[in-house]
Structure formats: C-alpha cells, structure tokens
Amino acid sequence: MQLKTILNAVEKHKSFVYSEARWSKNEATREIEFEVRPRVKSEPVCSGCNKKRAGYDKLPPRRFEFVPLWAIPVFLVYALRRVNCPQCGIVVERVPWASGKTRQTNSYRVFLATWAKRLSWMEVACVFGTSWDSVFRAVRWVVQWGIVHRELNDITSIGIDEIQYRRGHKYLTLVYQLDDGARRLLYVARDRTEASLNGFFNILSQSTINGIQFACTDMLPAYLKVLRLRASQALNILDRFHIMKKFGEAIDNVRAEEARQMKQDGNEAVLTNSRWCLLKRKANLTKSQVVKLRELMKYNLRSVKAYLMREDFQRFWTYTSSTWASKFLQEWCRRANQSKIVPMQKLARTLLKHQPLLLNWFESQGLSSGIVEGFNNKAKLTMRKAYGFKEYETIEIALYHQLGKLPEPETTHKFC
Ligand SMILES: [Zn+2]
C-alpha cells in the first residue's frame, strides 16, 4: 500500500488530488511531502465570499504542515490560486485543509491541541519536534473555533470565581456553568471589577440571562452589584467554598499576628510551621500535622481559638432549614464578637451583613460549592502547568482549552 492511499483515507478533499509521497529536497532534514493539485476543471473558491470563481493566477508553492508519520514531518505542497471575484476583487482561494494565512493544516492543529490537553505545551512541542509557539497557535485556533461554535443557552446555575494569576494583585474573573451534565468554563475576564462580570452578561442573549436561576459568588461587592443589575431574578448564593476561604484568611491573619507578638516577647516559637495544620480541615492533615495540632492545643493561643471557631462554623452547612441555620449564625457571630480576636470579629460582621445571601444557600438546596472548588483547583493547575505563561491572552486560551468543553472542528480522521 502506498502512503498516498493512506493519506486519501484520512484526509480526502474532493476537488483536490495528491501526488505520490516523496522526500523533501532538503536532504539534511528527512521530511515527507505530498504535492497537491486541483482536480481538472475544478474552480477555486473565493476566500472572501466562499463562492466558486474563475481562476486568475497561481502563487509559488507553499508547504502546509500535516500530522507527522513515524516521527517524520509531513507536508502538503500546494500552489494557491488567486481568483478574480466580482465581489471581492483579486483574492487568494480558500482551501479545505487550512484556514487563513497559516502554514499548519487544520488536522495538524487539532492533533497538537488534543495532545496539549494531556501534556504541557512545552512537552507537546518537544515530543512532536515543533516549537512552543506552533503549539500555542494550534490551541488558540481550536479554542477560537470552539468559542464561535459553542451554544450558550439553557444555563440554569452559574458560579463566579476570582483567581490570582500573577503576583501583584493580578486577578481573573471566571464564570462557570454548574448544571448537571453541563459543567464548563463559560467566561474568562481580566480583573475582578464590575466590567469583568458585565463582559460575561454581554455575550449572552437576554433570554439566556433570564433563564439563570442560581448564581454562586464570593462577597466581592462588584460581583454582587452586577448580579443585582443584570440578573436580578437569579438567587445569589454565597457558597460554602468562598465563605470558608474567608475563614482561612482570618485564621492566617490571627496566626501571623500572634507569631509576631510571641517572637517579640521572646517566647519559644510554638507557632512555627503551624500554618497548614491550622488552615487545613482536620481530615486532610498529615500525621506530623496532627501531632503539631495536638501540641498547639495545649497552649491558650488565639490562633487555636480561631481554628476551633472555624471548625464549629462547619455545622452551619449541615442545617436543612434556613431558619435554624440563621439562629446558629447569629449565635456564632455573638460568640465571635466576645472572642476579642479582631479578624474573627470582622468576619462575623461581614457574615451578618451578608446573611440573606448566605441563607440563600439553603434555598438552592446546597448548590454544590464543591463544583466551584473543583474548577478553582483545575484552573490553578492549568496555570501551573502552563508555567512560563505570562501574557493574559495565553492564560485565557489555556483555561478555555482545558475547562471550556468547547466543540472541536471536525476532521475526517481522529489522529489521537
Ligand atoms: Zn469573493
């Protein structure tokens, strides 16, 4: 069997024919080339209006990179025709295996992008003997195609999250769909301002917005305001993940302050290496962290008190009735106020101020904040795996690629 036969089986385009496979002229690099010719009497398609038009002339042959075979690079070589289009003027033809001015075939781009979901972009470049930049361009094209072709209706529940992507308070706003069977990243925006979230509502039709019933957020005033203005029918829920994150921050403040104080007073450094055993949930502690926690409990420390207050607050999420949850909340906040621990008092004030939104969690029957947390972790992992990504655009594309569940351009053959 000839290579041409295989190529025809995986990448057939009815108005074009392939030559036999040959080695490229450059002997230093081993590359396979197939020459492509238009079928006799087939007319070129105008890239402006997608209509068949009379040919005008031919450009010098160009190489389009195809999926490699046995680690040997493969190229299609084709001399693009120009058409004389009454509508668009003299323009280059549209070919079915590549789009725009790119030198990668669509199949090759889908191939690289599929691998880029499993490996880091650098690894993909290494394994397939190409550059980071070419992997990036492939992923970007696949993502842009997916965004244009995705459906954005029937969205009932959304989760809005903020995430730091660079040092120096560089944040992103991420919006997820949380519906059963349709969990995906819907939107990425710079910053965590009103404009960031407004951008999301701007891409939706009004009927889609009207269909949103639940929106999980943290307490960022910008998010709360935009939700009130743009989707007032949606039940705004402060979810468990975001609230417990606030507890973590408060405990961290208490611990840092207390450690400083103790050092000043010349006390032994009881709190050294205690950060994680105070921040993690008990069930997630390592053996040595359990020992450390037990040791900490012997001292009458504000950090430990704050830790116990958080553990106590976990009960809030176990209520089934919002009336009882509300009673518990009031009681917890009263105790926090008496604790004389400033960060906890501050947290109690914040919780009381947002009480109605907190209690909405029970109305939504505990709309799973675990989903938002899961997405948050995956987003962080994506950004970590993409280390070296500094530009916002690159991070945005990586996130859509990994979490967006975007449709992909159809190819005649699945290469991986
Ligand atoms: Zn045209």
CB atoms within 10 A of CB 57: 10
User: What does 288-351 look like in DSSP terms, one character per residue?
Assistant: HHHHHHHHHHTS--HHHHHHHHHHHHGGGGG-SSHHHHHHHHHHHHHHHHHTT-HHHHHHHHHH
Ligand 1 centroid–CA 65 distance in Å is 26
Ligand 1 centroid–CA 406 distance in Å is 30
Ligand 1 centroid–CA 89 distance in Å is 7
Give how far Cα 101 sits from Cα of 47, 94, 123, 155, Å: 11, 10, 26, 36
Residue 200: both structure tokens together: 């999301």
Percent of the chain with pLDDT over 90: 68
**What angle do the packed helices 342-353 and 322-338 form, to 10 degrees?**
150
* Band of residue 169 on the pLDDT scale cut at 50, 70, 90: confident
Ligand 1 centroid–CA 44 distance in Å is 11
Helices (H), 11-53: none
Q: What pLDDT score does 282 carry? A: 76
Q: What pLDDT score does 369 carry? A: 65
CB 56 within 8 A of CB 64: no
Backbone angles phi, psi at 136, to 5 degrees: -60, -45
Ligand 1 centroid–CA 52 distance in Å is 8
CB 176 within 8 A of CB 158: yes
Whether residue 345 has pLDDT greater than 90:
yes
CB 403 within 8 A of CB 184: yes
* Band of residue 125 on the pLDDT scale cut at 50, 70, 90: very high
Ligand 1 centroid–CA 79 distance in Å is 19
Over residues 80-124, the pLDDT tens digits come to: 999 999 999 999 999 999 987 889 999 999 999 999 999 989 999
Ligand 1 centroid–CA 84 distance in Å is 8
Q: What pLDDT score does 388 carry? A: 61
Ligand 1 centroid–CA 85 distance in Å is 5
Mean pLDDT (whole number) for 15-36: 92
Q: What pLDDT score does 289 carry? A: 84
Ligand 1 centroid–CA 62 distance in Å is 22
> Residue written as tokens 């005008």?
56
* Band of residue 387 on the pLDDT scale cut at 50, 70, 90: low
* Band of residue 60 on the pLDDT scale cut at 50, 70, 90: very high
Look at residues 218, 183, 180, 222 and name the one whose alpha carbon lies nearest to residue 199.
Answer: 222
Mean pLDDT (whole number) for 124-146: 93
Ligand 1 centroid–CA 94 distance in Å is 10
For residue 22, the cross-strand partners are 33
Ligand 1 centroid–CA 41 distance in Å is 19
Ligand 1 centroid–CA 90 distance in Å is 8
Q: What pLDDT score does 341 carry? A: 93
Ligand 1 centroid–CA 100 distance in Å is 15
Over residues 186-229, the pLDDT tens digits come to: 999 999 999 999 999 999 999 999 999 999 998 899 999 999 99
Cα separation, 184 vs 172, whole angstroms: 16
Ligand 1 centroid–CA 50 distance in Å is 6
Cα separation, 306 vs 255, whole angstroms: 9
Ligand 1 centroid–CA 91 distance in Å is 7
Ligand 1 centroid–CA 92 distance in Å is 9
Whether residue 390 has pLDDT greater than 80:
no
21, amino acid identity:
A
Ligand 1 centroid–CA 33 distance in Å is 30
Ligand 1 centroid–CA 51 distance in Å is 6
Residue 286: both structure tokens together: 């390592």
User: What does 180-222 look like in DSSP terms, one character per residue?
Assistant: TTEEEEEEEEESSSHHHHHHHHHTS-HHHHHT--EEEE-S-HH
Q: How many CA atoms lie within 13 A of 237 on its CB side?
A: 26
Ligand 1 centroid–CA 45 distance in Å is 8
Strands 62-69 and 214-217: unpaired
Give how far Cα 43 sits from Cα of 92, 99, 150, Å: 13, 18, 32
Over residues 277-332, the pLDDT tens digits come to: 778 877 788 888 888 888 888 777 888 899 999 999 999 998 988 899 999 999 99
Ligand 1 centroid–CA 216 distance in Å is 48
Ligand 1 centroid–CA 186 distance in Å is 34
Ligand 1 centroid–CA 292 distance in Å is 73
Whether residue 368 has pLDDT greater than 70:
no
Over residues 241-279, the pLDDT tens digits come to: 889 999 999 999 999 898 888 888 877 677 777 788 778
Cα separation, 292 vs 284, whole angstroms: 14
**SS3 of residue 374 by DSSP:** helix
Q: What pLDDT score does 286 carry? A: 84
Cα separation, 113 vs 45, whole angstroms: 28
Look at residues 112, 159, 163 and name the one whose alpha carbon lies nearest to residue 135.
Answer: 112
Task: Work out the mean pLDDT of the chain and round it to a whole number.
Answer: 91
Domain ranges of the chain: 1-103, 240-357
Taken as a whole, the chain contains a residue count of: 416
